[in-house]
Amino acid sequence: MNKQAALLLVSHVEGIAEGLKELLIQVATDVTIITAGGLDDGSVGTSFDRISAAITDCESNTIWCFYDLGSAKMNLEIAAETTDKEVMILDAAFVEGAYTAASLLQAEVKLDEIMQQLSPLMVKN
């Protein structure tokens, strides 16, 4: 397993988070990829509790997070403020950003270099 960082995918829809994970696993079999999609009852939304639990349960202490829409980011921020882990929230295009990070983590590229590769994909403000 790549020990540098795990990836957390947060989406309003469980199927989107799981589907993106499926896409990433193809190129990143040694990267820990966790998800927090939708609400507990399966409906659309983002759940602070699910995000928080995903971060807590994750074996890695460094977690890079990608998200779909802005409200997912707000919940991620609160979760980041309430954990001791190093949680980084990336404002990159959800699919392309996470795919880039996953491929480069798999190739054991260093985090700051991955960060540079992500910079043109930062499309959210």
Query: Smallest distance from the beta carbon of 77 to another protein, in angstroms?
Result: 7
**CB-wise, 82 or 116, nearer to another protein?**
82
Of the listed pieces 3-11, 39-47, 86-94, 95-103, which binds another protein according to CB under 8 A?
A: 39-47
CA 76, 6, 117: angle at the middle one, nearest 5? 90
Residue 28 contacts residue 102 (beta carbons within 8 Å): yes
Member of 49, 86, 108, 113 binding another protein (CB under 8 A): 49
103: which residues sit within 8 A by CB, 6+ positions away? 27, 28
Query: Smallest distance from the beta carbon of 71 to another protein, in angstroms?
Result: 3
Of the listed pieces 56-64, 70-78, 83-91, 97-105, which binds another protein according to CB under 8 A?
A: 70-78
Q: Does 19 bind another protein (CB under 8 A)?
A: no
Q: How many CB atoms lie within 10 A of CB 23?
A: 13
Could you report how far apart the first and last alpha carbons of the chain are, in Å? 32
Q: Is-catalytic flag, 12?
A: yes
Q: How many helices (H) and strands (E) does the chain have?
A: 5, 4
Member of 75, 87, 97, 121 binding another protein (CB under 8 A): 75
Member of 1, 23, 74, 107 binding another protein (CB under 8 A): 74
Q: Does 120 bind another protein (CB under 8 A)?
A: no
Q: How many CB atoms lie within 10 A of CB 83?
A: 15
* Catalytic machinery residues: 12
